[in-house]
Structure 1
C-alpha cells in the first residue's frame, strides 16, 4: 500500500516537472527570491565584519563570529533535517526567513537607540545561522520536487552562478553602503530581502512528499538517524559524504588564508587581497555559467573529480610561486573559482538518488558534517601556517585536495553513482 502511495507521489511530481514547463517559472521565481536574500545577507555579513573590525580590531572576535556562523548549522543539522522531512518545505523556508528577519529587526531597533554591543551581534549571528540550518536543507529538498531529474545538474549550475554573483556584488555594495548608511539601515535592507524571499516562496507551488507510516510512528530521535542510515545503504553516496568532509577540512582553511598569503607572502596590500577574492568570485561566476549551459560530464564523478583536482593543483601551484608572482596567483584564484561550481553537481546526485521524503535529513547531515570539518581545519591551519609559512600550507593543502580528487576517480563505490542515472 505504501509503495503504491509513493509511486503516486512520484507520478504527480513527474507530471508537474516533466510534462509542464511551469516548473521553470516556479524554479526561477524561487531562485530570484533566494538571490535577493543571498545578496542582502552577504551585504549585512560584510557590514558586520566592518563594524566588528572598527569596534574591536580583534582577530579573536572575528574568529568567534566565524565559528558562530558554522557551529549552529553543524549542531542543529540532524534535528533540522528530520523537521524538514516531517513538515512542508515551503512552510519551513518561510518560517526560517521570518525568524532571521525578526532577529535582524531587533538588532536594528537596538542600533537605533545605542551603539551595538558585540554580544548582541553574536546572538543575532547565532540566530541567523540556526535559521540557515533549517532553510538550506528545505530548499535543497524542495528543488527535486519542482525540477525534472535531467535538469537538476544544470539547476545546480544556476544556483552556483547566483552565489558567485552575490560574492562579487556583496563586498563592493557593503563597502559603499557602510560608508553612507548606519548599520541599522543595512540591517533593514536585509530584512526587506528576507521578506521578498518569503513572498517568492509563498507564491510558488512546492509538492510535499507524504511520510510513510513507519516514519510517522517512530520517535523523533530515530527519525534523525535515518539520514545517516539512508546514506550508509548506498556506497556511492556514503563515499561522497566522507569525501566532502575531507575536502572541506583542506579547502576551508585555504579560503580564510587568502588575505594572509596576499599581504604576507606576496607583500601586497588590502587592495591585492581584494583582487584575489574578486578573481575567485569572477571565476566562480564563469564556472557556474559553464555548468548551467554544459551540464557536466555524463559520468558525474568525473565532473566532481575534475573540480576537486583543479582546486588542488591551483592551491599547490599558488604555494610554489615566488613572492613576485602575484599576477600568476590571481590566475590561480580564477581557476579555483571556475572549478568550485562543478563540485555542486553532487547536490544533483543526492537529489536524484535519495527518496524525496528523506532529502531534508540527508542534506542536513551533509551540511553538519561539512560544518564540523571546517572548524577542525581552521584550528589546525592557523598554527601550522604560522610555523611553516602560509605558502607551504597552501602546498600541503593542495596535495591533500589532489589526493581527495584521486579518491573520487578511483573509489569503486562512486562508480555506482553513475549506474543509478
Structure 2
C-alpha cells in the first residue's frame, strides 16, 4: 500500500482534530466545573462519567466490525457530526432554571455512541497512511496535540464558564466538530474494502476474529488484561481530581484549572520526547514503566499535606507525562501487532475491555469518596497501578512483544 505524502495528509487531519480536541477540552472542563460547584457530589460526577462511557463500551465491539467494513474517513465525519448534534441538543437542556440531570445523562450517552465509532476509526487510519517506522512518532504527535489542548482547554473553559452560561459554552464543541469535519474533506484516506455479508451471523464471526487476533497473541492479551485491571483503579480516581483539589487542598476554580493545565503540560512533555528524539527503548518496557510511575504519583498525591498544593500540581504533571508515553506506546504496539483490516475491531474491543471494568469502580465512586476519603482512594489506586507495572515486568509473554523487531529510529 502506497504511503507517500503521508505528512501532508496528516497535517490536515491534525489541524482539524487539534481544534476539535481544544474545544472539547474546554467544554468538558467547563462541564466538570459546573457539576462540581453546582452539586459538589462525587456520585453525580461518577454517573456523568458512566453515561459518557457505558454506551461506548457496550456497542464498541460491534462498531469496530463496521469500522473495518466502512470507509473510515466517512465514519469519522458522520461520528463528529452526530456528536455535534447531541451537543446542540444539550444547549437546550442546560438552560437556566431547573436542570434535569436525567436528560443530561441521556445526551452524554448519545455522544458516547458517536465516540464509539470515532475514536477507533481515528486510531485505525494511522497504519493505512503512515510507514511502520513512523507510527510511534505519529502517536507522539497525537499525544502532543491532546496535551496542548489539555493545557489551553481548561483555561479556555474556565474563562468561558465565568463569562457565559453553561449552555452557551457548549457551542465551542460544535464549532470544533465543524472544523474537524471540514479538514477531513480535504484528505484522502485508503479504504480497505471487505467483501462480506451484513448478516448478524457474519457480524458475530467478524467480532470473533477480532477477539481471536488479541487472544492468540499471548503477550498482547496479557497487556490488555493488565491495562484493564489498572483502569479499574484509575477511572474512579480520575474523576476525583476536582474533588481532591477542592476538598483536600482547599482549592477553587483557579486551582482546578492549574491541575488540568499541568496535566496537559506533562502530556506535552511526554509526546514531545517521543516525537523529537531517537527512541531505542522497547515500547513494552515504556508501557510497564509508565504504569509504575503513574501509580507513584497517585500514592504521593494522596499522602500529601493539604498545604502542599504546588507539590500536588508537579506530581500531576509527572502523571500526565506518564499517561502520554503509556498511551502512545500502547497504541503503537497494537498498530504494529495487528493487521490493518482488523484494527477497527481490535481498538473497539480494547476501548470496551478498558471501560467496562472501570464502570464498576465508578459505580462506587460516591461511596469511596464518602467512606474512605478521596485522598485514600488515590493511595489505593496508585498502589494497584504500581503493582500492575511490576507484574507486567514479570510476565515473560508480555515482555516478548517486539523483542525481534527493530526499534523505531526517531
| Shared fold (TM-score, shorter chain, > 0.5) | yes
Of 43, 52, 70, which residue of structure 1 is paired with 2:26? 43
**Structure 2 stretches lacking a partner, 5+ long:** 406-410
SS in structure 2 at match of 1:418: coil
1:7 aligned partner: none
Distance in 2 of aligned mates of 1:253 and 1:112: 29
**Structure-2 change in CA distance of 1:213 and 1:261 (3 Å):** closer
Residue 299 of structure 2 corresponds to which residue in structure 1?
316
Q: Is the 8 A contact 1:236 1:413 kept in 2?
A: yes
Q: In the alignment, does 2:341 pair up with 1:357? A: yes
Q: CA RMSD of the aligned region, Å?
A: 2.7
2: CA distance between counterparts of 1:258 and 1:68? 19
* Greater mean deviation of Cα atoms: 112-121 or 337-346: 112-121
- Aligned in 2, Cα 1:125/1:291: closer, same or farther, shift over 3 Å? same
Q: Check 1:68–1:214 CA distance in 2 against 1; reply closer, same or farther (3 A cut).
A: closer
- Quote the Cα distance in structure 2 between the aligned partners of 1:162 and 1:72: 26
- Do residues 154 (structure 1) and 137 (structure 2) align? yes
Residue from 177, 180, 184 that aligns with 1:197: 180
- Cα distance in 2 for partners of 1:210, 1:320 equals 54
Conserved? CA contact 1:93–1:138, under 8 Å: yes
Query: How big is each residue's C-alpha offset from its partner over 1:13-36, in whole Å with a ceiling of 9 and x where there is no partner?
Result: xx32xxx2x100111211211111
1:90 to 73, 77, 82: 73
Match status 1:346 vs 2:342: no
Unaligned runs of 5+ in 1: 1-11
Worse-matched range after superposition: 253-262 or 351-360? 253-262
Higher deviation after alignment, 340-349 or 266-275: 266-275
| C-alpha distance in 2 between matches for 1:222 and 1:104 | 35
Contact 2:47-2:363 at 8 Å conserved across structures:
no
SS in 1 for 2:190: coil
TM-aligned CA distance change 1:113 to 1:244, over 3 Å: closer
SS state at 1:335 partner:
helix
Pick aligned residue for 2:387 from 392, 395, 403: 403
Secondary structure of 2:264's aligned partner: helix
Report what 2:161 is aligned to. Answer: 178
- Measured in 2, the distance between the counterparts of 1:321 and 1:187 equals 35
Residue 348 (structure 1) shift: 0.7
Q: Which has the larger radius of gyration?
A: 1
The Cα of 1:208 is off from its aligned counterpart by 1.7
TM-score, length-scaled by structure 1: 0.87
Whether 1:373 and 2:338 are equivalent positions in the alignment is no
Q: What are the within-5 Å matches in structure 2 for residues 225-374 of structure 1?
A: 225-294=208-277, 296-344=279-327, 345-374=329-358
Residue 214 of structure 1 deviates from its aligned partner by: 9.2
Once the 2 structures are TM-superposed, how far is the Cα of residue 154 of structure 1 from its aligned partner?
A: 1.4
Report if the CA contact (8 A) 1:317-1:395 is conserved.
yes
Give the structure-2-normalised TM-score. 0.89
Q: Is 2:374 aligned against 1:390?
A: yes
Q: Which moved more, 1:267-276 or 1:118-127?
A: 267-276
1:72 paired with 2:29, answer no
Q: Name the structure where helix makes up a greater proportion of residues.
A: 1
State whether residues 291 and 322 of structure 2, in contact with CA within 8 Å, keep that contact through their aligned partners in structure 1. Answer: yes
Q: Deviations over 1:39-90 (max 9, x none)?
A: 2222232334455567666654433222101111111111110110111111
38-47 or 102-111, which moves further after superposition?
102-111
Tell me the number of residue pairs that the alignment of Structure 1 and Structure 2 aligns. Answer: 404
Deviation per CA, 1:247-303, whole angstroms, max 9, x where unpaired? 111222222222333343444445444433332221121111112113644311111
Change (3 A) 1:404 1:176: same
Moved more, 235-244 or 117-126: 117-126
Distance 2:245 2:33 in 1: 19
